[in-house]
């Protein structure tokens, strides 16, 4: 193996009305709206990106909000949850703040020796906060992990370990479920992937409150090109490189059914507006600038509380 994946780049999900999504991710979770743009494949809908101040890889949660989205159902063949890392000493503060604000959450439960609580976003999607020993000066320090719900985790585990370079870090059984933890060496943000198998598995249905895909990091453009070859040799068919304005993307369906993406770190979210004012106005890729007026008329307005 010549190269490995350092961790998650971003996670993309489907939501209902945009304003409730903005309020939850900015006000409740304290994330920054780092980009307001449109779905490049359907420019009459928002594509919202949340992250840390700088919009760093490993902290980016993105949404396609649809005002009339049908609720989805999380099940096997999907990423079933994303988890943020809570730096050491800040977990009890989260519990206090959420309780004081009357925001419901489940837990804390113990998972691989760390406390985990689960909030629900306005569409019912689980958002996990995991206590870590990280020392960042922030209430959340980007992603801790993503959980993939699979009928047969073995083939996905093989892809992650033999092709991506992850290593097994533990196995945990809870009533009705088992969880295999894989970790990317290097300790980058979002370096953990949990593979979850359950005894009872509902049929998954895409829709509001479900994750659409998980993107892994390729630090450079040349790494991404190399991944196309490596994945092809391992029998996975990827898309051509697609320019997503803030990163380049390739996509493929992993053997368990989850849509994977490999996204480049560059150019990043400050490519088309200053980092200081990122996320305050609608940014469009060049192909949609000529129809900006039309797009601005159909997009629902957004308010971000200061």
Chain positions contacting Zn ion, by CB under 5 A: 12, 215, 261
Q: Which residues, including other chains, have CB under 8 Å from residue 158's CB and lie 6 or more apart?
A: 255
User: Least Å distance between CB 12 and Zn ion?
Assistant: 5
Q: Which two tokens stand for residue 183?
A: 């970790």
Compare residues 215 and 284 and give the one whose CB is closer to Zn ion: 215
Q: Which C-beta is closer to Zn ion: that of 94 or that of 269?
A: 269
Q: Write down the least CB distance from residue 40 to Zn ion, Å.
A: 10
Q: How far is the CB of 213 from Zn ion (least distance, A)?
A: 5
Q: How far is the CB of 72 from Zn ion (least distance, A)?
A: 17
Which residues, including other chains, have CB under 8 Å from residue 208's CB and lie 6 or more apart?
Answer: 14, 15, 16, 66, 69, 70, 71, 72, 123
In the bound state with Zn ion, the residue whose beta carbon lies nearer, of 64 and 149, is: 64
Cβ distance to Zn ion smaller for residue 136 or 253: 253
Would you say 91 or 247 has its CB closer to Zn ion? 247
CA distances 141 to 83, 156, 165, Å, are 10, 27, 23
Cβ nearer to Zn ion, comparing 181 with 213: 213
Nearest to 59 by CA among 141, 142, 140: 142
DSSP state letters, 25-87: IIIIT--EEEEEEEETTEEEEEEEEEESTT--TTSEEEEEE-TTPPB-B--TTEEEEEEEEEP
CB of 162 to Zn ion, least distance (A): 24
Q: Are 104 and 120 in contact (CB under 8 A)?
A: yes
Question: For 128-167, what is the HEC assignment?
Answer: EEEECCCCCCCCCCCEEEEEEECCCHHHHHHHHHHHCCCE
Q: Find the shortest distance in angstroms from Cβ 251 to Zn ion.
A: 8
């Amino acid at each position: 193996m010549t190269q490995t994946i350092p961790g998650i780049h971003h996670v993309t999900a489907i939501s209902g009305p945009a304003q409730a999504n903005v309020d939850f991710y900015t006000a409740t979770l304290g994330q920054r709206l780092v980009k307001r743009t449109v779905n490049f494949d359907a420019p009459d809908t928002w594509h919202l990106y949340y992250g840390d101040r700088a919009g760093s890889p490993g902290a980016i949660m993105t949404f396609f909000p649809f005002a009339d989205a049908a609720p989805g159902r999380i099940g096997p063949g999907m990423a079933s949850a994303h988890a943020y890392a809570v730096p050491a000493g800040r977990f009890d503060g989260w519990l206090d703040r959420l309780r004081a604000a009357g925001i419901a959450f489940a837990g804390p439960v113990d998972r691989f020796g760390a406390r985990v609580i689960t909030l629900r976003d306005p569409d019912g999607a689980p958002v996990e906060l995991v206590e870590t020993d990280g020392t960042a000066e922030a209430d959340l320090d980007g992603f801790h992990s993503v959980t993939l719900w699979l009928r047969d985790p073995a083939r996905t585990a093989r892809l992650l370990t033999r092709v991506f370079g992850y290593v097994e870090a533990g196995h945990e059984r809870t009533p009705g479920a088992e969880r295999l933890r894989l970790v990317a060496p290097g300790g980058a943000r979002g370096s953990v992937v949990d593979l979850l198998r359950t005894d009872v598995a509902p049929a998954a249905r895409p829709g509001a409150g479900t994750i659409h895909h998980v993107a892994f990091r390729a630090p450079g453009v040349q790494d991404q090109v190399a991944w196309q070859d490596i994945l092809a040799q391992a029998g996975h068919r990827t898309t051509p490189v697609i320019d997503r304005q803030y990163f380049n993307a390739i996509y493929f369906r992993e053997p368990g059914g989850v849509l994977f993406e490999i996204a480049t770190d560059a150019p990043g979210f400050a490519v088309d507006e200053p980092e200081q004012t990122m996320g305050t106005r609608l940014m469009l890729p060049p192909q949609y600038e000529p129809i900006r007026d039309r797009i601005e008329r159909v997009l629902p307005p957004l308010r971000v509380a200061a």
